């Protein structure tokens, strides 16, 4: 027997015929590293140390011949894992805690992996853990990384099944992936979306940094982040920069320090009115007129543990049921656990309806706060003759005068009179400083006012979609005048460049912009080629998220309708051009039915014949011997089938063991007095071993292992 043949005769995954070799353990560990890499951006980094410790222990165990990890060591490892995750997340009931537990158990499984069955379990857990990685993200890098991990895990399974070499293992893995790709594409296009794995609740994740309570300085912190809030594409006219006010929260309660939102349930309980007076569920807003110009946008929303939906101005109509609030904000029925598409029509203007809470509610102020601001409001009111519009104009003009300045690094304000401290002492701030001061001064003059928190602007990409990020967060004021809400934005007075170009255009405190995203590609916006690469990648990623991740029931229905329409158009074209269209159509239809029926009948007959032949021992063994002969391992003259299979087994590589089993089963069926049940089991086992030989038999010919060997 040649050295190469001897090497092929022993499965490469086994060290002694039963236990796993160091090479196979290394294969499994590399697979663990690939799967772990998909999670590390969201999971604790010490899991990588756990993987290294487990792999190092197994390496030392193999090198020094140490005994297997005992039950006490394994229980201690699992207990330590649970304790570490508890300390990390505070609970194991959260999604991150459960994912961390699955990942840790997957890494610890290598401690008790000693044979083929254990290795297969490790690979299966790896496949599940790879799928769970999409709970974190569904972007292109995650999909590419998951494909690489799955390919490696499948290759490990092929090795465990007896591949004769690395090249054969990768070839069969690639063949499996290629064969499965059309089926995956067909299922993706046609199968109803039943809610993918990543739609499980993730209540601890929020996409935007906005909250429903703000105080001066809160939004300034968001200028340090480049996190994406949502993306939008418009049908028809796009809004101009001064129309891109994205409404998220309406804040009507002021306690002297912070502005906060009051829920419809809280308003109903406080004012003694039904909840329906403040919110309604549907696809159209009952509070707004749908006449006049409006903008139609498709929003690609990021996952968020809160149910808020941004709208360009006042929401009017959506493609799915939402909660329309009377204060002009939009809320989803549930939080978003994955990226989602929302088609929304909105007005880009403040709400035209009166707040059901009433004008008195939007004039409430604490009596004992900000005395200097109150004195200033009284003076301006007198100077303008008690005219609300003139008073508001004077207030806004005051913000535009020196020494007030707009800065991304505002001073921190403390104490109970923060509006006083801003207007008379620091006189420098971000949008929330000016919005809070303007709303307070309007209420002090008896004018209903409220603060709106959301986003302003967004980066327009060359393909037409807009990306809105955390640093686009903004706050402005709405006042009730002449039967409608009117938008007042002090930022437009003191820093008009913020409205036109975004926060990056503000020079004062510019070092704070993107300070928490030091490696963001947005820092290279001024470098032409780098910015073009960034925009191209974001365009590709947007199309991926919108077309693949955002493929929902409506998209599937639209595609199916297009296919049916195309088939009908093709059929109509044939009918119009063939002579005797009615007769020809009937003939073609009958021909298609006959061909399909004949094909099904042939497949059924062939399947029945194949199943009957599989029970014929002579037919099975004859086909196997013919296959061996084509590999140069034919039978000698006068040699029995069992003797032939045993003789060529050493030259058959990983199929040798199955050939010996075939020979044993064949002799038992031929000579042993077996009961019918045992005979049936032996025939079934023989068929399985023959199939195993066909899978594992090397493709190369063996000139020295033929009839003359």
Peptide bond between residue 403 and the one before it cis (omega within 30 degrees of 0): yes
Give per-residue pLDDT as tens, 414-424: 778 889 999 99
CA triple 554-560-564, angle to 5 deg:
145
CB 430 within 8 A of CB 408: yes
Say which residue, 402 or 358, is predicted with more confidence: 358
| C-alpha to C-alpha distance for 526 and 595, rounded to whole angstroms | 65
Region of poorest pLDDT, from 221-225, 403-407, 508-512 = 508-512
- Tokens (6 digits) for 596: 């399909």
Phi-psi region of 509 (alpha: psi -120 to 50; beta: other; left: phi over 0): left
Q: Report the mean per-residue pLDDT for the chain.
A: 83
Say which residue, 574 or 642, is predicted with more confidence: 642
pLDDT higher than 90, residue 678 = no
Using the 3D structure, point to which of 550, 577, 604 is the last residue of a domain.
Answer: 577
Say which residue, 250 or 588, is predicted with more confidence: 250
| C-alpha to C-alpha distance for 161 and 445, rounded to whole angstroms | 82
The reported pLDDT for the residue numbered 550 is 66
Instruction: Taking residues 581-599, report their average pLDDT.
Output: 72
| C-alpha to C-alpha distance for 546 and 694, rounded to whole angstroms | 45
**Closest C-alpha to 487, from 279, 309, 285, 242:** 242
Helix (H, G, I), strand (E, B) or coil at 347: coil
Instruction: Taking residues 478-507, report their average pLDDT.
Output: 87
Count the residues in the chain.
709
- 58: domain range? 4-189
Helix (H) or strand (E) holding 286: none
Say which residue, 676 or 589, is predicted with more confidence: 676
CB 477 within 8 A of CB 439: yes
The reported pLDDT for the residue numbered 387 is 94
| C-alpha to C-alpha distance for 663 and 645, rounded to whole angstroms | 6
Phi-psi region of 521 (alpha: psi -120 to 50; beta: other; left: phi over 0): alpha
For 354, half-sphere exposure in the C-beta direction (CA atoms, 13 angstrom radius) is 10
Main-chain phi, psi angles of 595, to 5 degrees: -65, -45
CB 176 within 8 A of CB 150: no
pLDDT higher than 80, residue 624 = yes
Co-location of 24 and 153 in the same domain: yes
Is 215 part of any domain?
yes
The reported pLDDT for the residue numbered 18 is 59
The reported pLDDT for the residue numbered 412 is 80
Instruction: Taking residues 42-46, report their average pLDDT.
Output: 91
Is 94 part of any domain?
yes
The reported pLDDT for the residue numbered 351 is 93
What's the start-to-end Cα distance of the chain, in Å?
10
The reported pLDDT for the residue numbered 612 is 59
- Tokens (6 digits) for 263: 């829920």
**Closest C-alpha to 132, from 108, 160, 105, 159:** 105
CB 123 within 8 A of CB 156: yes
Give per-residue pLDDT as tens, 93-106: 888 889 999 999 99
pLDDT higher than 60, residue 441 = yes
The reported pLDDT for the residue numbered 299 is 93
Percent of the chain with pLDDT strictly greater than 90 = 35
- Tokens (6 digits) for 622: 């004859």
Phi-psi region of 328 (alpha: psi -120 to 50; beta: other; left: phi over 0): left
Range among 352-366, 537-551, 669-683 rated most confident: 352-366
Co-location of 529 and 504 in the same domain: no
- Tokens (6 digits) for 187: 């299922």
Is 230 part of any domain?
yes
Pinpoint the alpha helices (H) of 336-450. 371-383, 388-399, 418-421, 431-444
Paired sense of beta strands 315-325 and 308-309, if any? unpaired
Using the 3D structure, point to which of 143, 164, 189 is the last residue of a domain.
Answer: 189
Pinpoint the alpha helices (H) of 40-70. 46-64
- Tokens (6 digits) for 185: 């594409």
Helix (H, G, I), strand (E, B) or coil at 324: strand
**Closest C-alpha to 230, from 546, 559, 491:** 546
Is 525 part of any domain?
yes
Region of poorest pLDDT, from 94-103, 372-381, 412-421, 441-450 = 412-421
Catalytic residue ranges: 431, 474, 489
Using the 3D structure, point to which of 189, 214, 237 is the last residue of a domain.
Answer: 189
Co-location of 536 and 488 in the same domain: no
The reported pLDDT for the residue numbered 598 is 83
CB 350 within 8 A of CB 313: yes
| C-alpha to C-alpha distance for 538 and 520, rounded to whole angstroms | 13
Give per-residue pLDDT as tens, 331-358: 999 888 778 889 999 998 999 999 999 9
Co-location of 526 and 501 in the same domain: no
Helices (H) then strands (E): counts for the chain = 23, 19
The reported pLDDT for the residue numbered 490 is 92
- Tokens (6 digits) for 433: 């400083």
Co-location of 181 and 211 in the same domain: no
The reported pLDDT for the residue numbered 401 is 85
| C-alpha to C-alpha distance for 474 and 455, rounded to whole angstroms | 5
CB 283 within 8 A of CB 317: yes
Helix (H, G, I), strand (E, B) or coil at 385: coil
Main-chain phi, psi angles of 115, to 5 degrees: -140, -175
Co-location of 620 and 573 in the same domain: no
Instruction: Taking residues 509-515, report their average pLDDT.
Output: 71
CB 576 within 8 A of CB 584: no
The edge-to-edge listing of strands for the beta sheet with 259-260 is 213-214, 259-260, 253-254
Q: Exposed e or buried b for every residue in 262-298, given b needs 16+ CB within 10 A?
A: bebeebbeeeeeeeeebbbeeeebebbeeeeebbbbb
pLDDT higher than 70, residue 607 = no
Co-location of 571 and 630 in the same domain: no
The reported pLDDT for the residue numbered 160 is 85
**Closest C-alpha to 267, from 350, 330, 327:** 327
Phi-psi region of 588 (alpha: psi -120 to 50; beta: other; left: phi over 0): alpha
Main-chain phi, psi angles of 647, to 5 degrees: -70, -40
Region of poorest pLDDT, from 46-50, 378-382, 703-707 = 703-707
**Closest C-alpha to 541, from 140, 210, 244:** 140
Give per-residue pLDDT as tens, 213-269: 887 766 667 777 888 889 999 998 999 988 999 999 999 999 988 899 999 999 999
| CB-based contacts of 15, cutoff 8 Å, min separation 6 | 21, 22
| CB-based contacts of 347, cutoff 8 Å, min separation 6 | 288, 292, 293, 294, 295, 312, 313, 314, 316
| C-alpha to C-alpha distance for 527 and 523, rounded to whole angstroms | 9
Give per-residue pLDDT as tens, 115-124: 888 899 999 9
pLDDT higher than 60, residue 564 = yes
Is 429 part of any domain?
no
The reported pLDDT for the residue numbered 38 is 94
What's the total number of domains in the chain? 4
Give strand pairing partners of 478. 450, 487
The reported pLDDT for the residue numbered 1 is 38
Co-location of 222 and 329 in the same domain: yes
CB 660 within 8 A of CB 649: yes
Is 426 part of any domain?
no
Is 589 part of any domain?
no
Given pLDDT bands bounded at 50, 70 and 90, which one contains residue 669? confident
| CB-based contacts of 124, cutoff 8 Å, min separation 6 | none
pLDDT higher than 80, residue 610 = no
| C-alpha to C-alpha distance for 460 and 95, rounded to whole angstroms | 35
Co-location of 673 and 535 in the same domain: no
Co-location of 456 and 319 in the same domain: yes
| C-alpha to C-alpha distance for 708 and 597, rounded to whole angstroms | 50
pLDDT higher than 70, residue 568 = yes
Co-location of 560 and 502 in the same domain: no
Co-location of 230 and 305 in the same domain: yes
| C-alpha to C-alpha distance for 250 and 72, rounded to whole angstroms | 58
CA triple 425-430-434, angle to 5 deg:
65
Give strand pairing partners of 593. none
| C-alpha to C-alpha distance for 149 and 143, rounded to whole angstroms | 10
Is 651 part of any domain?
yes
């Amino acid at each position: 027997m040649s050295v190469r043949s001897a090497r092929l005769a022993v499965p490469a995954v086994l060290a002694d015929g039963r236990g796993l070799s160091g090479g196979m353990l290394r294969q499994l560990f590399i697979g663990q590293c690939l799967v772990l890499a998909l999670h590390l951006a969201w999971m604790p980094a010490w899991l990588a140390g756990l993987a290294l410790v487990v792999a190092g222990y197994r390496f030392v165990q193999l090198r020094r011949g140490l005994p297997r990890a005992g039950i006490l060591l394994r229980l201690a490892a699992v207990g330590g894992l649970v304790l570490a995750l508890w300390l990390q997340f505070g609970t194991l009931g959260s999604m991150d805690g459960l994912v961390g537990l699955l990942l840790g158990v997957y890494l610890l499984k290598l401690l008790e992996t000693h044979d083929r069955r254990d290795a297969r379990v490790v690979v299966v857990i790896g496949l599940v853990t790879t799928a769970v990685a999409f709970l974190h993200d569904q972007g292109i890098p995650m999909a590419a990384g998951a494909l690489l991990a799955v390919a490696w895990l499948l290759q490990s399974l092929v090795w465990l099944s007896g591949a004769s070499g690395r090249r054969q293992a990768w070839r069969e893995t690639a063949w499996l992936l290629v064969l499965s790709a059309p089926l995956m594409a067909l299922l993706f296009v046609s199968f109803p979306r039943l809610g993918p794995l990543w739609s499980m609740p993730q209540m601890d994740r929020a996409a935007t940094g906005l909250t429903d309570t703000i105080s001066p300085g809160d939004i300034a912190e968001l200028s340090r982040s480049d996190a994406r809030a949502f993306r939008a594409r418009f049908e028809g006219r796009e809004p101009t920069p001064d129309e891109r006010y994205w409404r998220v929260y309406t804040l009507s309660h002021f306690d002297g320090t912070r502005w906060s939102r009051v829920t419809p349930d809280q308003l109903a309980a406080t004012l003694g009115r039904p909840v329906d007076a403040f919110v309604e569920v549907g696809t159209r807003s009952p509070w707004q007129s749908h006449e006049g110009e409006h903008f139609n946008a498709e929003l690609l929303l990021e996952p968020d543990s809160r149910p808020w939906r941004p709208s360009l101005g006042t929401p009017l109509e959506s493609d799915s049921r939402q909660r329309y609030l009377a204060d002009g904000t939009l809320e989803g029925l549930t939080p978003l656990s994955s990226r989602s598409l929302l088609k929304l029509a909105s007005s880009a203007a403040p709400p035209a309806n009166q707040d059901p809470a009433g004008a008195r509610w939007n004039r409430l102020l604490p009596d004992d706060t900000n005395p200097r601001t109150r004195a200033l409001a009284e003076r301006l009111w007198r100077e303008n003759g008690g005219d609300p519009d003139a008073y508001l104009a004077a207030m806004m003009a005051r913000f535009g005068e020196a020494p007030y300045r707009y800065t991304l690094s505002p001073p921190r304000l403390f104490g109970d009179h923060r509006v006083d401290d801003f207007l008379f002492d620091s006189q420098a701030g971000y949008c929330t400083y000016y919005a809070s001061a303007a709303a307070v001064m309007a209420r002090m003059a008896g004018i209903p006012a409220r603060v709106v928190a959301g986003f302003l602007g967004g980066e327009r990409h060359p393909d037409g979609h807009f990306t809105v990020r955390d640093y686009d967060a903004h706050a402005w004021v709405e006042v009730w005048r002449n039967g409608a809400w009117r938008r007042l934005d002090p930022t437009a007075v003191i820093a008009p460049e913020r409205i036109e170009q975004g926060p990056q255009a503000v020079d004062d405190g510019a070092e704070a912009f993107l300070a928490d995203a030091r490696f963001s590609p947005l820092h290279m916006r001024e470098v032409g080629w780098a910015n073009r690469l960034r925009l191209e990648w974001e365009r590709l990623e947007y199309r991926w998220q919108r077309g693949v991740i955002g493929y929902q029931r409506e998209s599937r229905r639209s595609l199916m309708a297009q296919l049916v329409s195309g088939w009908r158009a093709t059929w109509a074209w044939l009918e119009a051009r063939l002579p005797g269209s009615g007769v020809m159509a009937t003939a073609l239809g009958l021909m298609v039915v006959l061909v399909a029926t004949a094909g099904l009948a042939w497949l059924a007959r062939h399947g029945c014949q194949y199943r009957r032949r599989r029970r014929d021992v002579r037919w099975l063994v004859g086909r196997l011997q013919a296959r061996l002969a084509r590999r140069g391992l034919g039978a000698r003259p006068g040699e029995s089938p069992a003797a032939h299979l045993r003789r060529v087994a050493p030259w058959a590589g990983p199929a040798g063991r199955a050939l010996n089993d075939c020979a044993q089963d064949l002799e038992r069926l031929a000579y042993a007095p077996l009961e019918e049940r045992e005979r049936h089991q032996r025939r079934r086992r023989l068929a399985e071993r023959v199939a195993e030989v066909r899978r594992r038999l090397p493709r190369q010919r063996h000139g020295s292992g033929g009839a003359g060997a």
